[in-house]
Chains A and B, each alone.
Chain A
């Protein structure tokens, strides 16, 4: 992923959420580029960004000391779904996580988001032995 993918990622987000949020994706892309430019991935179809997956290896969060590959943002253009882009993106980011010394990848998914949950299950992600907790403020 490079800074030239921002426009394409913004476009995919807009297609999925109907919100145009370039400044949000500029901040996110710049963060991941700065942290590890080779970690986050994009998939292209006919020269245009058709999918993205952002994440990085971190350790020490939530008491999880081991280096963990965190997958934090991803999306695939609805027009090109069904071409296995999600699998290719996840294979690429997991390979990079392994190169960075991570032996486990983690992510979180809203329980109502059955499409993403189904995708992650198909990618052999299983429920973790940690619970996501929240408190409304």
Chain B
């Protein structure tokens, strides 16, 4: 169960720290707060962790039973190409989520919630570091002409609006987003990491267990505040209401579903031994899991609203309200409880992309009515974003035939603060040349 810790070669380690100073300025506060909120836990380590004693043979796909690759050139060329894209996308998500969290971190109303998110951000930084380790510790030249330093440069240059996946291009409107994102979007991350534990590239597979152990806490950092907010929401003076959380669910759920890839795809990754589930299989499991999560949160709300009821009576009341989709004893399914929208609601990728499906699964024929419907369900602050404006324009274009679906599927909003190199006046790149150490710049094992 042990893992080995590795530090990146200096130029990349320094580039990540440089990126952190600009994009994650609250990072030093984590060390200051560690003993208050995580008193028994080992100190945070910005390092790559490689699990030991992982399987040596490919576990799924056409090459099942053959030895796993330990360098990219040993992979099937198509698998190497796909894997490189996966690692770059994964790296983008890790750094991207920090940029999103940072914007509203200071708005947390509870110091523990804030400290938990701060730790989540630091561990996402470590996960990004892990992906850079995968990119820079091996020779990827058989599948790309891009040099390692340029791959790292590209990842660190991304901003909210230019990341690979849409979920990481949405800005947070409040601390509700920090928490709902952890509950919904980090959960997709858990699925992706779990599927990649079988990866035919052994260093990738061995990167997953340490990341998954940390990801488990990230999900708790989302679900537990949501549970507490639901309890508080049962009181008339609640500041964070169930409708506010519901709107955040509507904002994030579709983006989470799209992170699995097109529902009809994923067979190639299984065939190549990179993942053990197709997109739809994994997505269906995710949907069942988040539905159960909302059940738990709703039950907490019902218990707080009716403290005189026994556990069994409260559970029975919730089951009746959910079953009837109605209002019983003043508890309304529509107004008071959290629910998942139809998987086709507000989608821009996958089999439901731009199909104008409402939260309850009903289909719209009139695009303006559909845009109104989506508008009426999203958080008000989010409506003012370029992301929603961009979606509405595409939705209109697809509906009236002026934008081909294929074009819409590839279109991403471009925010004003997109891309670019380090904002330091004295540097134009994140990765800068450093004096090569005696070991030739090879990575250092911290705990061999």
Contacts and interface: CB of A to CB of B under 8 A. Distances in A.
Interface of A: 2-4, 6-7, 11, 14-15, 20, 22-23, 26, 29-30, 33-38, 58, 99-101
Contact of A7 (B1, B212, B228, B299): B299
Q: Give the residue among A7, A33, A58 with the most B Cβ atoms within 10 A.
A: A7
Given A4-B296, A6-B296, A26-B227, A34 B303 contact: no
A34 B292 CA distance: 21
B217 A22 contact: no
Contacts of B303: 20, 22
Interface of B: 1, 38, 40-41, 212-213, 216-217, 219-221, 223-224, 227-228, 231, 289, 292-293, 295-296, 299-300, 303, 311
Contacts of A2: 216, 219
A25 to B, nearest CB: 10
Contacts of B40: 35, 58
Contacts of B38: 34
B42 to A, nearest CB: 9
Contacts of B212: 37
B308 to A, nearest CB: 12
A56 to B, nearest CB: 9
A7 B228 CA distance: 12
Contacts of A22: 227, 231, 300, 303
A30 B224 contact: yes
Given A29-B220, A33-B220, A6 B227 contact: yes
Dominant secondary structure of chain A at its interface with chain B: helix
A23 B221 CA distance: 14
Given A3-B219, A23-B228, A101-B1, 15 more contacts: A2-B216, A3-B224, A4-B292, A6-B227, A7-B300, A14-B311, A20-B303, A20-B311, A26-B224, A29-B220, A30-B221, A33-B220, A36-B213, A37-B213, A100-B1
Contacts of A58: 40
Nearest to B37: A34
27 contacts: A2-B219, A3-B220, A3-B223, A4-B223, A4-B292, A4-B296, A6-B223, A6-B296, A7-B299, A7-B300, A11-B311, A22-B227, A22-B231, A22-B300, A26-B224, A29-B220, A30-B220, A30-B221, A33-B220, A34-B217, A35-B40, A35-B41, A36-B213, A37-B212, A37-B217, A58-B40, A99-B1
A23 B220 CA distance: 13
B65 to A, nearest CB: 25
A101 B52 CA distance: 14
A58 B292 CA distance: 33
Contacts of B219: 2-3
B296 A7 contact: yes
B374 to A, nearest CB: 29
A14 B299 CA distance: 14
Contacts of A37: 212-213, 216-217
B217 A33 contact: yes
